[in-house]
Amino acid sequence: MCQILKIAKSTYYYQTNNCVKYDVNNYEEEVISAFNKSRKIYGARKIKAVLMRKDIILSRRKIRFLMIENNWVSKYTKLKYRNHKTMVNNDQISNVLNRQFNNKKPNEVVVSDLTYVQVGGKRHYICLLIDLFNREIIGYSVEPNKTAELVQQAFHKITRPLNKITLFHTDRGWIGYNKLDHIYVDFQIK
């Protein structure tokens, strides 16, 4: 039939395809309603899903155009990790070592620090115990969680006698968010 009438097949199929054209202005109230019911959180994708449940078909482009035209910006929240600071062990203890890191005797001073490293995209904590005599790591442990057991395991790996250590030095981290101050903890072992 298309050949006899000399009409392209695409024209015939285009005419028979009952395309329903939606006017954006007719559904502006529906878009406004969906946006306001979401507490102004939804973007074009979610508004489109809400409208499709009501059998209203609008493209994301048309919804986005309507949002830009009315200066609607979706509010979204991003989950953030928050450090929970606890004030533990705030005793004023003097800094006996006082940055004198050169010691003449083995096992005289052992220092410790706790830090984290990225392993396979995840954070793991490491506790190191170092003899200041030769900067040798005498104990260590690694765990995915920062716990007291992490430090205990580092002490269990020490093969030297602990009664030979005269001073154990560690810092207790930093104070506040913008300060670089460290509080030091020294234990003189008698």
**Confidence grade of residue 178 (pLDDT, cut at 50, 70, 90):** very low
Contact of 146 with 125, CB cutoff 8 Å: yes
Task: Write out the two tokens for 131.
Answer: 């003899």
Digit-coded pLDDT (tens) for 29-39: 888 888 888 88
User: Residue 110: what residue type?
Assistant: V
C-alpha to C-alpha distance for 116 and 150, rounded to whole angstroms: 12
Q: Residue 163 burial by CB count (10 A; 0-12/13-18/19+): exposed, middle or buried?
A: exposed
Least confident span in 1-10, 93-102, 125-134, 149-158 = 93-102
**Confidence grade of residue 140 (pLDDT, cut at 50, 70, 90):** very high
pLDDT exceeds 70 at position 16: no
Sequence-distant (6+) residues with CB within 8 A of 152 are none
pLDDT above 90: percentage of residues in the chain? 8
pTM assigned to the model:
0.46
